Chain A
Amino acid sequence: MSTLAALNATSPATALTKEELERYSRHLILPEVGVEGQLKLKNARVLLVGAGGLGAPLALYLSAAGVGTLGLVDFDVVERSNLQRQVIHGTGDIGRKKIESAAASIAAINPNVRVVRHELALSSENALDIIKNYEIVADGTDNFPTRYLVNDACVLLGKPNVYGSIFRFEGQASVFAAVDAPCYRCLYPEPPPPGLVPSCAEGGVLGILPGIIGLIQATEVVKLILGLGESLQGRLLLYDALAMRFRELKLRKDPDCPICGTHRTITKLIDYNQFCGVPQASATPATVAGEIDPVAVKARLDSGEDFQLIDVREPQEYQICNIPQARLIPLGELPKRLHELDRSRPVVVHCKTGGRSAKAADLLRQNGFTGVLNMTGGILAWSDKVDPAVPKY
């Protein structure tokens, strides 16, 4: 944590340089901002959890606005499929660490911004140590365990959590955990069971959507720093891109909230994977009974073995790429289309990465099918191991 130690040792700026006066002139002539407000921005420390869809617009605009210190938490590398929405990364960044690519974009926009790199997955072990060095956290993660972790850490440390979340054409935004404001647990005491709510990787997302929601988050961050306007705390903003409609719902602090209510039962960070019912990686052996490797599926097809290969993805995914021998029955339709399958013949199911097909395999087994196998890693693994001509998405 040497970078953080150095960060804390820095004394606040009391003046803007000539270059900064020119750069921020459109802020400085706003009576609500002025030199005083710009200095607040320069001295502010904001942590962005995730340098992806939401993190990209947050980082670009907050750095342009002159937020002095931006912490970035991310451990991924840039993939081509990120570029449709993660505008902080470019085509030339594919394969590069997102944190490095984002830092380079920030430096190109505003070299006055200090970027603190946290190249890791935020966890119960490191979250408090990292977050305590920042004044505001902007949550741009993509999974429920991290959402609850960020919320709880912010509540325990008394830091506002500027929240944004997206799915397909809809987004949500709010400011949680600020003084006397409801927290994420007041809104959603518990996460959905794993698999019930699809991720953007499964369900897709309009590329522009994170731009809108991320910039709502950025606006709230800047307002909090400047002490301006009415914060989104106590309100949940819902955005529907297709209807082009914003709605606002009232949020109340839950007196029974386990972390911010009157009788708190959570006083330290917990195991969020367990809380969200996410299976631990170590508990999953490399080869699970009921699974089959794509190479073995290919061998079975080549040898003319008699089995039914079922693709449980959505029709639009099937259009992108497919295994010609596979028959498409989307997971959602499977319960009412079981009669189309022959119970006397073995079944191999596949999807994009293996998650949905695992559910399909369970469903078939529950309905009395025997000899059901799930193709490990889905069609992406098929592309890697069997047929590189199959495009990945």
Chain B
Amino acid sequence: MARFPIPTPLRQSAGGQKEVEVAGTTVGEALAALITEFASLHNHLYNDASKSRSFVNVYLNDDDILCLDDRDKTAVASSDTLSIVPSIAGGRE
């Protein structure tokens, strides 16, 4: 199990939920479970080749797991928070 707080820009693709709890013992399983539950999140997290997008970061607790060699195999515990941090650009208008 892991918790995904859903950032505002992606909430529409996650049934309006602020936080989603998904099954899985690794980051890969948790991400897969999230996509299974909310198919439209796939577009935001993966490109056409199903590789993770480089404008979205996934953090395990406060660490960027894109930096880990084998990100998908990283273990997650039920106390863990997986954060999706998408790029936003607002500020001037």
Contacts and interface: CB of A to CB of B under 8 A. Distances in A.
A interface, size bucket: 35 or more
Given A74-B92, A167-B9, A249 B85 contact: yes
A144 B87 contact: yes
A167 B88 contact: yes
B91 A54 contact: yes
B1 to A, nearest CB: 20
A143 B89 contact: yes
Given A192-B56, A197-B86, A210-B91, 10 more contacts: A51-B92, A142-B89, A142-B92, A167-B90, A168-B9, A169-B8, A188-B54, A238-B83, A247-B83, A249-B83
Contacts of A368: none
A190 to B, nearest CB: 4
Nearest to B10: A197
A49 B89 CA distance: 13
A140 B53 CA distance: 24
A50 B90 CA distance: 11
A164 interface: yes
B38 interface: no
Interface of B: 7-9, 12-13, 43-44, 53-57, 59, 62-64, 67, 83, 85-93
Contacts of A200: 90-91, 93
A139 B88 CA distance: 13
A25 B44 CA distance: 51
A250 interface: yes
Contacts of A76: 92-93
B9 A198 contact: yes
Contacts of B92: 49-55, 74, 76, 140-142
29 contacts: A50-B92, A51-B92, A53-B90, A139-B91, A140-B92, A141-B92, A142-B89, A142-B91, A147-B89, A165-B88, A167-B8, A167-B88, A168-B8, A168-B9, A170-B88, A187-B57, A188-B55, A190-B53, A190-B55, A192-B87, A196-B44, A197-B87, A199-B89, A201-B93, A210-B91, A236-B85, A247-B83, A249-B62, A252-B67
Contacts of A190: 53-55
Nearest to A203: B9
Contacts, number: 114
Given A196-B43, A203-B9, A250 B91 contact: no
A59 B51 CA distance: 41
Contact of B88 (A74, A172, A249, A250): A172
A46 interface: no
A197 B64 contact: no
A301 B70 CA distance: 59
Contacts of B55: 188-192, 197
Interface in A287-346: 332
B56 to A, nearest CB: 8
Given A188-B55, A191-B55, A238-B85, A164 B91 contact: yes
A127 interface: no
A167 B87 CA distance: 10
A116 interface: no
A141 B54 CA distance: 21
A188 B57 contact: yes
Given A170-B7, A238-B85, A332-B12, A53 B91 contact: yes
A166 interface: yes
Interface in A167-211: 167-170, 172, 187-192, 196-201, 203, 205, 210
Nearest to A332: B12
B93 A53 contact: yes
A210 to B, nearest CB: 7
Nearest to B86: A197
Nearest to A185: B54
Contact of B54 (A54, A82, A189, A248): A189
A192 B86 contact: yes
